[in-house]
Chain A
Amino acid sequence: DQQVKQNSPSLSVQEGRISILNCDYTNSMFDYFLWYKKYPAEGPTFLISISSIKDKNEDGRFTVFLNKSAKHLSLHIVPSQPGDSAVYFCAAVSNTGNQFYFGTGTSLTVIP
C-alpha cells in the first residue's frame, strides 16, 4: 500500500517558468517530509525538507509547502532551469524517525 503518492509521472515546463511538483500522503503520523532529486545513473540527492510543524520552507529557488489537513505537499521551483531536469522524489519519515516512505517520482523536463 503506497503511503506516499506522486500522481504525475512527468512534467514539462519552459525555462524561467515555475515548476510545481505535487505529493500526497495517507499517514497522519508522518512528521518530516523531504524532496530528493535524481539524475540518471546516480543516487537521489537531498534537496529540501519540511517539518510537520511548519507549512513552508524556502531555500533559494526551491520552496516546499505543506498542507497537513489535506495531507499534501508541493515543491515549487522558480525560475526553472534546464539543469533542474531530473526525477524528483517526495519522501515522508515516520514518527519513529527511522523509516522513509518514498513516492514513485515525477520526471521534470525544463525546456530551454
Chain B
Amino acid sequence: GAGVSQSPSNKVTEKGKDVELRCDPISGHTALYWYRQSLGQGLEFLIYFQGNSAPDKSGLPSDRFSAERTGGSVSTLTIQRTQQEDSAVYLCASRRASGSTETQYFGPGTRLLVL
C-alpha cells in the first residue's frame, strides 16, 4: 500500500520568504508528526496531531512555524519569513493510533535550503 508522501522533495528559497511543506499520511492513520533534522543532528520533534484533538505544538521553535491538518488527513507545515537556520530536512510521520507500541512510518522528507 501507499506510504507517507511528502512534497516538495527539495525546496530552495530566499531568506525572508514563506514556505509550505506538505505531508500525505498513510490512509486511516490518526496520528501525524512533523520532525526536523538539521545537519549532524537527530530528529527534532516539531508538532503532533492526534485525531480531532488539539495538536501538541510544544516542539515548534518559534512563532514563524505553524502547521495544520485538514480533514484528519493531509498536513501542511508553514514557515514564515524563513531564516538560514531553518535549512534542514523536514520529516513527516504517521501512526495508526496512539499508544506506545504503535510505530511511526516516515515519509522521505523535504530538504529545505534557505539562502
Contact = CB atoms under 8 A, between A and B. Distances in A.
A60 interface: no
Interface in B30-66: 31, 33, 35, 40-45, 48, 50, 56
Contact of B108 (A6, A42, A98): A42
Interface residues of A, number: 30
Contacts, number: 64
With most chain A CB atoms within 10 A of its CB, the pick from B42, B102, B107 is: B42
Contact of A43 (B4, B48, B56): B4
Contacts of A105: 42
A49 B103 contact: yes
B10 to A, nearest CB: 10
Given A43-B4, A89-B42, A89-B43, A99 B56 contact: yes
With most chain B CB atoms within 10 A of its CB, the pick from A41, A43, A97, A103 is: A43
Given A43-B93, A43-B107, A97 B42 contact: no
B103 A34 contact: yes
Interface string B86-107: 0000010100001111111111
Contacts of B42: 2, 4, 6, 89, 102-105
Interface residues of B, number: 27
A93 B100 contact: yes
Nearest to B41: A104
Contacts of B48: 98-99
Interface in A85-112: 89, 91, 93-95, 97-105
Interface of B: 4, 31, 33, 35, 40-45, 48, 50, 56, 91, 93, 98-109
Interface of A: 2, 4, 6, 9, 31-32, 34, 36, 41-46, 49, 51, 89, 91, 93-95, 97-105
